[in-house]
Amino acid sequence: MSREKRVKLKRRQNADTSKNDVNTWSDTSFPDVSVSEPYKNVTVDLPMAVERFLEKLPARRRKPFLKLLCLWCNGSDVDSFLEKCRDRDFLVESIVNLVEKLKSEDLAPKTISGFYIPMLKRFLKFHGLKVDWDAVKVKADIPKKFIVKIDRAPTVGELRQLIMASNERISLMIHFMAATGLRVSELLNLKVENLDFSSNPPMVRIISAKTGRMREVPLTSEVVERLRKYLGNRKSGYLFTTRDGEKIDEKNFLRDFMKLTFKLGLNQRDPSGRGWMLHPYSLRKFFKTRLEEAGVNMLVIETWMGHDLNVSGSYFRPSKRMIMEEWRKAEKALTIFQREDEDKTLENLRKIQELERELSEMKRLLNYLLARLRESHSRLGA
């Protein structure tokens, strides 16, 4: 049985068993849930209304919700506690206390504001309870649900290291993303049929993950050369597959990429301490940064990246000639390995220019000294 079939079978079994799990929640204590000491081993008697709400939640969210319920009700009878919440002041105060309890658990701000609070809002709405959230925000310091993370685009040198240090498939995937600006999901859903080597320039056709629209992105000659060698006689199916010919799982690709950056010593934590400076999305940033540096038209860049251009994009219809002109700039910027000789030449030219400037400065200084000597000699002679 293939891995994909095993996963589908497991999901089906989980779906069947989860339907019968609802009636067991009322008997459940939570010694293993990470809550403060006073709330451990709390058993909640669930009324029918709560059980109906649990039925609407995915199985993986039911236990966290019951943790939230324990903290909110503080071990009280749920029915009587909900009745007290009809008093708006009591409801606001109970939510403020809940926020403080969640913060005392040292949970991440995103977990509090982006997971537990929305789940509580949904539960209150389910029971027809309206909350004055402005009053809650005044009394409780609800953490922001996002933390500013800082990342960066890899340099050409770092990209060469990543490509050369990995196996053929991962190497080509990294190279392909950097040269086309695809998102990870778009890359993994790409099929051989989406490639068009006969057009000028060669193109890849993608269904944008965000907008759902088809877009065409030109391919550099070095990527086309590698693709031809990688595909051989293959004419259909997913472009990048596992050894069994199945679609690659996104988590596996993310894991392999991050391991590679750690192995090469290229990665480090960002200032927030919660993210990394390099990750697969950095390849998309590399694509955009290189094109901007090359002076490619901004609307063309946004079109190739699959962004929604709103009003400005609805009227933007670049001609074939314009696309070709912009692509000539882009291909030079996105060529990774064939640029090495050109980079060395440019570096040598820069060094020559610096030496010429230094020589010119020395000539100017010598002329100044010579003039002063002549002036001094003439005074002595007089």
What string of DSSP letters covers 38-58?
GGTT------HHHHHHHHHS-
Neighbouring residues of 141: CB distance < 8 A, sequence distance ≥ 6 = 99, 103
Given a cut of 50, whether residue 26 has pLDDT beyond it is no
pLDDT of residue 170: 95
Cα-based distances in Å from 79 to 49, 69, 117, 341:
9, 12, 20, 76
Q: Are 27 and 43 within 8 A, CB to CB?
A: yes
User: How far apart, in Å, do the first and last CA atoms of the chain sit?
Assistant: 108
Given a cut of 70, whether residue 23 has pLDDT beyond it is no
Burial of 103 (0-12, 13-18, 19+ CB in 10 A): middle
Mean pLDDT of 299-320: 79
Reported confidence tier of residue 351, pLDDT bands at 50, 70, 90: confident
Mean pLDDT of 80-89: 87
Say whether 214 sits in a helix, a strand or coil: strand
CB atoms closer than 10 angstroms to residue 329: 16
Given a cut of 70, whether residue 372 has pLDDT beyond it is yes
Angstrom distance (rounded) from CA 233 to CA 80 = 70
Neighbouring residues of 377: CB distance < 8 A, sequence distance ≥ 6 = none
In this structure, what DSSP letter does residue 154 have?
A: P
pLDDT of residue 361: 87
Given a cut of 90, whether residue 288 has pLDDT beyond it is yes
Mean pLDDT of 227-255: 93
pLDDT of residue 142: 75
CATH number of 156-334: 1.10.443.10
Top-confidence residue, 5 or 296: 296
Average pLDDT along the chain: 82
48-52, 205-209, 216-220: segment of lowest average pLDDT: 48-52
Name the percent of the chain lying above pLDDT 90.
37
